Structure 1
């Protein structure tokens, strides 16, 4: 009788795990854009807005809320893609790159950051390919077990429509953050690493704009920055 009860318990437990696994799988699948098209997603984007549950990340972004120019290129040879990010930082124009690995779920990518021991999953939640893309990034630091959620808004141009902004706010709220957590990046113009950088911020009255030169080499901006 005891053996029979144990067997029943194991079956119930197994069924529970199976249902939980199926639920997690459904959750993962619903995170990504339906019928995601990788080739249409490639090309030039701008990081227009961000929100995150990580205080350190948000502190860095508030200190330099600048639109980041992104270039995505699919490497057909290994099936992955590279993201090149160009932005103003520390008075210079800096460029970083990151390789994203593809998964069996279209619209879901991953990368590992050895410096922080973090595994990062990126999901293209919504996109119409020609105007905007909303990105969800979930990470876990292996050593501490800390988890981080970041939601990003990409645009094919540096401006997005009010409707897209409203939908982005809804997505941010859905992941436990308020509208106050959203940082709208500022347009300071384009730049090319190695060339003189012009600060496009509004100058004080009576003071001329200053031209800055790239005196600092490109640096790794830390995980989840782009």
Structure 2
């Protein structure tokens, strides 16, 4: 009985933590479009631990579609070199919130642009539910370097979401990814 009560309390706490997340007020997708670099990441999946030291800054291109959906092309370094992947985000009724279907996990994931000034940085929260709740907070910058106060804002936000310090990463840059001359 005690285990069941503990489980209910944990689930309720997780639901409360995520219910207070609101997207950027007056989110403007056209201003958000363009090139972004993922310069920071906080992730609470135990399966991620072996990859922490291999992570590098990745680059993404946000392309709004006429129907309000978004294509996100991400370039990242992997074991076989630089590769790109296309994500198709579907808009929701709330500007700044999207969903997408992860073929890798066979699950729908929620994406919320929590805060952005459009010209320097964006805090983005990704949430998914498997056998438990998993969350990822990412710091995106319009360049590979962001101001120290923005990094601190990201770290504080991750801490408020319950991420321990060791799960918050500021990866080094990737070299030649996307490859020079790729038109990006």
Which of the five TM-score ranges fits, normalised by the shorter chain? 0.7 to 0.9
| 1:122 to partner: Cα distance | 0.7
Aligned match of 2:146: 160
1:57 aligns with 2:48: yes
Give ranges in structure 1 of 5+ residues lacking alignment: 1-23, 196-226
Give ranges in structure 2 of 5+ residues lacking alignment: 1-15
Question: Higher RCO, 1 or 2 (CA under 8 Å, sep at least 6)?
Answer: 2
CA distance in 1 between partners of 2:74 and 2:158 (Å): 23
Aligned match of 2:7: none
Per the normalisation by structure 1, the TM-score is 0.68
| 1:192 to partner: Cα distance | 4.0
The equivalences for 1:76-225 within 5 A come to 76=66, 78-141=67-130, 144=131, 146-192=132-178
Aligned match of 1:42: 33
CA distance in 2 between partners of 1:186 and 1:172 (Å): 19
Worse-matched range after superposition: 157-166 or 172-181: 172-181
CA distance in 2 between partners of 1:52 and 1:192 (Å): 24
Q: Find the structure with the greater CA-based Rg.
A: 1
Per the normalisation by structure 2, the TM-score is 0.82
CA distance in 1 between partners of 2:49 and 2:59 (Å): 19
What CA RMSD, in Å, does the superposition of the two structures yield over aligned residues? 2.2
Structure with more strand by fraction: 2
